[in-house]
Amino acid sequence: MVWYFFVTVAVLIGGSASALAQECLHAQTETADDRIRREQAIQYARRLNAGQHSTLPGQQGQRYRAPDDLRNLPPVPPGFQLQFNTDGRTYTFSLKDARDPCRFAVFSDQGGDVYAGSPQRPGATIIPLETQ
């Protein structure tokens, strides 16, 4: 029974170590091609927000539309996957880089702010902000 525990722990540690050994595409070692793709994803997010807010500006009960229904929206950048959700009155979307082992993503909602980053890695320590 004890050996089973040690084998399980060894497999989990080995799997985590190999996942952590993979390089994040959008970190300090980001290549020019990956930087361009990241910038394209951020630009896509800005254009999608602009397209949503230009369809029915200032109207109560605005109906947000699927990206395919918007004009002048560029294609989703290579390697990124778009997920878009709306109930007509609100929307959220994410562009996740399927090529990045660190799962970099760009996301936004009807508020118009664009966020970019990677999720916390398994086993990472979250450091709280210091209050002054």
Q: What is the mean pLDDT of residues 78-86?
A: 97
List the domain range (segments joined by +) for residue 77. 30-117
Give the phi and the psi of residue 100 in degrees, each rounded to 5.
-90, 120
What's the mean pLDDT in 46-74?
A: 82
Would you say residue 4 lies in a domain? no
Considering the entire predicted model, what is its pTM? 0.72
Residue 128 lies in a domain: no
100 pLDDT above the threshold of 80: yes
pLDDT tens digits, 30-52: 999 999 999 999 999 999 999 99
Q: Domain for residue 127, yes or no?
A: no
The answer to whether position 69 is within a domain reads yes
> Six-digit token pair at 1?
């029974």
If one counts the domains in the chain, the total is: 1
Band (77; pLDDT cuts 50, 70, 90): very high
Evaluate whether residue 11 is within a structural domain.
Answer: no
**Is residue 72 one of the residues assigned to a domain?**
yes
Does 85 fall in a domain?
A: yes
Classify residue 92: in a domain, yes or no.
Answer: yes
